[in-house]
Amino acid sequence: MGLIFEAKNLTKKFGGLTAVNDLSFEIRRGEFLGLIGPNGAGKTTVFNLISGFEKTSSGSIWFDGIDITGLKPFRIVNLGIARTFQLVRSFRYLTLLDNISVSCLSPRGKKVSEDVGTEEFASTILSSIGLVDKARIPPVVLPHGDLRKLEIGKAVGSSPQLLLLDEPFSGLSYEEQLGITDLIKKLHEDGVTIFITGHVLRELMALVPRVIAMHQGKLIADGPPQEVANNKIVLEAYLGRGEDIA
Ligand SMILES: Nc1ncnc2c1ncn2[C@@H]1O[C@H](COP(=O)(O)OP(=O)(O)O)[C@@H](O)[C@H]1O
Ligand SMILES: [Mg+2]
Instruction: With respect to residue 25, please indicate whether it lies within any of the assigned structural domains.
Output: yes
3-state helix, strand, coil in the chain (%, to 5): 40, 25, 35
CA of 124 to the centre of ligand 1 (A): 36
Angle at 51 between CA 89 and CA 161, to 5 degrees: 95
The number of folded domains in the chain is: 1
Q: Who contacts 182 (Cβ-Cβ below 8 Å, separation ≥6)?
A: none
226 domain-assigned: yes
pLDDT, tens digit, 9 for 90 and up, residues 206-225: 899 999 999 999 999 999 99
Residues 6+ apart with CB under 8 A from 34: 196, 197, 198, 201, 204, 207, 208, 210, 211, 212, 225
User: What's the average pLDDT block by block, 10 residues per block, for the chain (246 residues)?
Assistant: 94 98 98 96 98 98 97 97 94 95 95 92 95 96 93 96 96 89 95 92 87 97 94 91 76
Residues in the 5 Å CB sphere of ion ligand 2: 43-44, 86
- Could you tell me the distance, in angstroms and rounded to a whole number, from the CA of residue 20 to the centre of ligand 2? 12
DSSP state string for 18-73: EEEEEEEEEEETT-EEEEE-STTSSHHHHHHHHTTSS--SEEEEEETTEE-TT--H
Residue 200 has a pLDDT of: 73
216 lines ligand 1 (CB under 6 A): no
Q: Which helix (H) or strand (E) holds 133?
A: none
Q: Are 179 and 210 in contact (CB under 8 A)?
A: no
The structure's pTM equals 0.95
Return the residue whose CA atom lies nearest to atom 16 of ligand 1: 42
Is residue 211 within 8 Å of residue 49, measured between CB atoms? no
- Mean pLDDT score of the chain, rounded to an integer? 94
Which residue has the least CA distance to atom 11 on ligand 1?
19
Whether 236 maps to a domain, the answer reads: yes
- Ligand nearest to C-alpha 168: 2
- For ligand 1, say whether the CB of 69 is within 6 Å of any of its atoms: no
Does 41 contact ligand 1 (Cβ within 6 A)?
A: yes
Is 204 among the domain residues?
Answer: yes
What is d(CA 113, CA 102) in angstroms, rounded to the nearest whole number?
11
CB 168 within 8 A of CB 184: yes
What three-state secondary structure class fits 223? strand
Q: What is the pLDDT of residue 245?
A: 74
Regarding the beta carbon of 42 and ligand 1, being less than 6 Å apart is answered: yes
pLDDT of residue 61: 98
Domain encompassing residue 33: 3-80+161-240
In order, the DSSP letters of 228-244 are HHT-HHHHHHHHHTT--
* Residue 125, in any domain of the structure: no
What pairing do the DSSP bridges indicate for beta strands 58-63 and 66-67? antiparallel
**AA identity, residue 189:** E
Residue 115 is assigned to a structural domain of this protein: no
| Cα-to-centroid distance, 122 and ligand 1 (Å) | 33
- Domain with residue 52: its CATH number is 3.40.50.300
